[in-house]
Structure 1
Amino acid sequence: MNIDFHYGVVYIVARIGGMTACEALTVAHACQYVDDATTHGILRFSGGETFERFATAHKLFDYSNTENDQNTLVWTPFHFLPAGEGETLEDKAVCRADSAVAREVVRRAIRQKGADTALHRLGVTLHAYVDTWAHQGFAGIESRMNRIHQLEAEDCTPENWLAHLTRATRHLIDRVESDVLTAALPVGHGAALYFPDQPWAIWNYVDGRGVRIERHNLNEFVQAAEMACRVVRAYVAGRADFEFQPGMPDDVKEVLTELLASNRDLDDNKRLRTICDAVKAGAIPGLRESVPDYVAKGLGSWKCKATGLQSDDDGVDRPPWSEAFERSDYRRFHDAVKEHRFVTTQEILPAHGLRIA
């Protein structure tokens, strides 16, 4: 999923689920920041203090990263949460929508309500959780399940198809052998291009087992939003049985479904703007307000507010440490990331027979 869902839709369901605007903003920002936190390593302060950070994404669209240790620590816990189903490690590493593993990860985050990093941890967790719908069938490690053959998509214009690095016909694109892409992009859904992350896409492909997989993203994305709303309601109520909480009201679900279906700009930031405009105009029943702009990097970003640094490359500049840093969203986010990673890779996955980090 892209910023239109991770920031825009998550903000909507957080508000509909009972959070204040401030709380919803923190959760939505943390949810999207998982895709933008590409700086890792030790942040060194001028007084000698240090703070460890962990990148939750590779820079740009780097599904081709084949350093397996990095794959397991970045793609696996944050973007392709393993379902732990099957007999082999390869089978267990495959991401499945709303899996038992994913639900346990969510419950563990809900139980942290009241902690210093609780809202940020919930945002990080929601990123991994809703991605299980978009990224189902793929794995965050090198796997035959990431192989794509005969990729097809409906209602794809020639301009759109060129943007996806291949070609199209008027209504149904010609079958495209993507062996080259599969070889170049062995991790995650790289060989499937951007189709898994587009809310409206109807597409299919033959996977590494020779099975044709049919995908209708709209229904899956709406279900992801529905379950995310239940998670928020459970968090607000202080209970972990989120799957039994009410989701979105029918009128909200209807409007959101139409918005996701019709908002088809290939630029996900433009899609986000459309969603924010809808919220501001009161198109979402029960919600009429301005959604603050999301700033990933540079001036106005969480990192800049916490440290004064505007560049990803902070190996030379050493900001002064302050109590304000300890209270910052930037510090809380990175600590939430470390908590999420540890619980997922060291506790939950091993309990489901999967040790990958």
Structure 2
Amino acid sequence: MNIDFHYGVVYIVARIGGMTASDALTVAHACQYVDDATTSGILRFSGGETFERFATAHKLFDYTNTENDQNRLVWTPFHFLPAGIGETLEDKAVCRADSAVAREVVRRAIRQRGTDTALYRLGVTLHTYVDTWAHQGFAGIESQTNRVSLLEAEDCTREGWLAHLTRATRHLVQRIEEDVLTLALPVGHGAALHYPDQPWAKWHYVDGRNVRVKRHNLPEFVQAAEMTCRAVRAYIAGREDFESLPGLPEDVKAALTKLLDTNRNLDDNKRLQTVCEAVKTGVIPGLEESIPDYVPKGLGSWKYNATGLRSDDDSGDRPEWSDVFEKSDYRRFHDAVKEHRFVITQEILPSRGLRIA
């Protein structure tokens, strides 16, 4: 999923689920920041203090690398959560929508309610959770299941650049493109292009095991929003049985479904603008307010507010350590990331026979 869902829809659902605007903003920001926190390693302060960070995403184009160990630490716990189903490691590593593993991860986040990283942990967890719908059928390790061929979509959102070719030539070009992408992007859904993350998309392909896969994202994305609402209600109530709680009201679900289906700009930031405008103008029943702008990098970002640093490349910088940093969104987010990754890779997955880190 993209920023329109991770930030915009998660904010909507958190507010509908009963969160204050401030808490909903923290959860939504943390949810989206998982896709933008690309700086890893030790942050060194001028007085000698240090703080460890884990990247939750690769920088642009870095996802093409084939460093499988590093991919497992980034893609698997944050974007392609394994369902732990099957006999082999490859089978168990495949992401499945709303899996038992995913629900356990949500429960673990709810259990941390009351800690100073709790809202950030919930946001990180919800990113991973909703991505199980978008990224189902793919794995965060190099795997045959990530191979894609005969990829087609009903709405022809491939920018129209193949439209002038004959049908036979178009299919030949697509097959070459898919083969190249499959080899270049062996991890995750890279070879499936942008289709898994488009809320309205209807698409199909043949995977590496020669199984024909048909996908319709809209009902999947709405279900992800529904379950997110239940998770938020459970978090507020301090209950781990989130599946049993009410989800979205029917009028909200109908409005959100229409918004996700009709908001079809290929630029996900433009889609976020449409989502924010819908909230501001009362399109979502019971919610009429402005969603603050999301600032991922530079001036006004969580990192800048905590450290004064604007650049991702901070290896030569030495900010001053202070109480401002300790109480910052940036510190709390990264500590939540460490908690989230540890619980998944060292506790939940090994208990299901899957050791990846």
Asked whether the two chains share a fold, i.e. TM above 0.5, the reply is yes
Q: Is the 1:63–1:189 Cα contact (8 Å) retained in structure 2?
A: no
Residue 105 (structure 1) aligns with: 105
**Distance across 1 between alignment mates of 2:109 and 2:164:** 45
Task: State the partner residue of 1:261.
Answer: 261
Q: How big is each residue's C-alpha offset from its partner over 1:175-231, in whole Å with a ceiling of 9 and x where there is no partner?
A: 432111100110000000010000010000000110100000001000000000000
How far apart in 2 are the matches of 1:204 and 1:145? 14
- 1:138-166 CA deviation, whole Å, 9 max, x = no partner? 000000000001001012156x244xxxx
1:217, 1:102 → 2: CA distance? 19
Task: Identify the residue that residue 283 of structure 2 maps to in structure 1.
Answer: 283
Structure 1 residue 181 and structure 2 residue 169: aligned?
A: no
CA distance 1:353–1:148, change in 2 (3 Å): same
Matched residue, 1:72: 72
In structure 2, do the counterparts of structure 1 residues 169 and 85 end up closer, same or farther at CA, with 3 Å as the change threshold?
A: farther
The DSSP-based 3-state class of the residue aligned with 1:199 is coil
**Aligned equivalents of 2:83 and 2:2: distance in 1?**
22
What is the letter of the counterpart of residue 342 of structure 1?
Answer: F
- What TM-score, normalized to structure 2? 0.96
Q: Does 1:34 align with 2:34?
A: yes
Q: Which residue of 1 aligns with 2:81?
A: 81
**Percentage identity across aligned positions?**
79
Q: 1:14·1:232 contact (CA, 8 Å) conserved in 2?
A: yes
Residue 63 of structure 1 deviates from its aligned partner by 3.1
The CA distance in 1 between the partners of 2:240 and 2:326, in whole Å, is 28
Q: Counterparts of 1:168 and 1:111 in 2: how far apart (Å)?
A: 52
Equivalent position SS for 1:206: strand
Distance of 1:313 and 1:41 partners within structure 2: 11
Q: Where does 1:143-162 land on structure 2 (aligned, <5 Å)?
A: 143-156=143-156, 160-162=159-161
8 A Cα contact 1:93 1:141, kept in partner: yes
Gaps of 5+ in 2: none
Alignment of 1:1-357 (within 5 A): 1-156=1-156, 160-162=159-161, 167-168=162-163, 175=171, 176-177=174-175, 178-357=178-357
What residue identity is the alignment partner of 1:331?
R
Instruction: Give the drift of 1:168.
Output: 4.4
SS at match of 2:106: helix
1:285 deviates by 0.4
Judge conservation of contact 1:156–1:168 (CA < 8 Å) in 2.
Answer: no
Residues 63 and 188, structure 1, Cα contact 8 Å, conserved in 2: no
Distance 1:87 1:61 in 2: 32
Give the letter aligned to residue 308 of structure 2. G
Deviation at 1:169, TM superposition (A): 7.3
Distance (whole Å) between structure 2 residues aligned to residue 355 and residue 60 of structure 1: 28
Provide, for residues 290-334 of structure 1, a one-character-per-residue CA deviation record: whole Å limited to 9, x for no partner.
000000000000000000001111111111000010000000000
Distance 1:140 1:161 in 2: 30
Q: Which TM-score applies when normalising by structure 1?
A: 0.96
Structure 2 residue identity aligned to 1:185: L
TM-superposed CA distance for 1:61, in Å, is 4.5
Q: For residues 169 and 236 of structure 1, what CA distance do their matches in structure 2 show?
A: 54
Give the 3-state SS of the residue equivalent to 2:82 in structure 1: coil
Q: Residue by residue, what CA displacement relative to the aligned partner does 1:66-112 show, whole Å, maximum 9, x if unpaired?
A: 10111110000000000000000000000000000000000000000
Question: How many matched pairs?
Answer: 351
Query: Following TM superposition, by how much is the alpha carbon of 1:354 offset from its aligned partner in structure 2, in angstroms?
Result: 0.3
In the alignment, the residues of structure 1 paired with residue 99 and residue 31 of structure 2 have an alpha-carbon distance, to the nearest angstrom, of: 19
Retained in 2: the 8 A contact 1:306–1:328?
Answer: yes
Q: Which whole-Å CA distance do the structure 2 matches of 1:325 and 1:180 have between them?
A: 45
- The 3-state SS of whatever aligns with 2:227 is helix
- For 1:314 and 1:179, the matched residues in 2 are separated by 37
Q: Distance in 1 between matches of 2:218 and 2:259?
A: 10
Per-residue CA deviation, residues 37-80 of structure 1 (Å, 9 max, x unaligned), is 00000000001000000000001144322101111100000000
How far apart, in 2, do the equivalents of 1:75 and 1:245 lie? 30
In the alignment, structure 1 segments of 5+ residues that lack a partner are: none
| Contact preservation (8 Å) 1:63, 1:186 | no
Q: 1:169 to 1:230 in 2, by over 3 A?
A: farther
Against the structure 1 CA distance between its residues 61 and 287, is the aligned structure 2 distance closer, same or farther, given a 3 Å change threshold?
A: farther
Judge conservation of contact 1:157–1:169 (CA < 8 Å) in 2: no
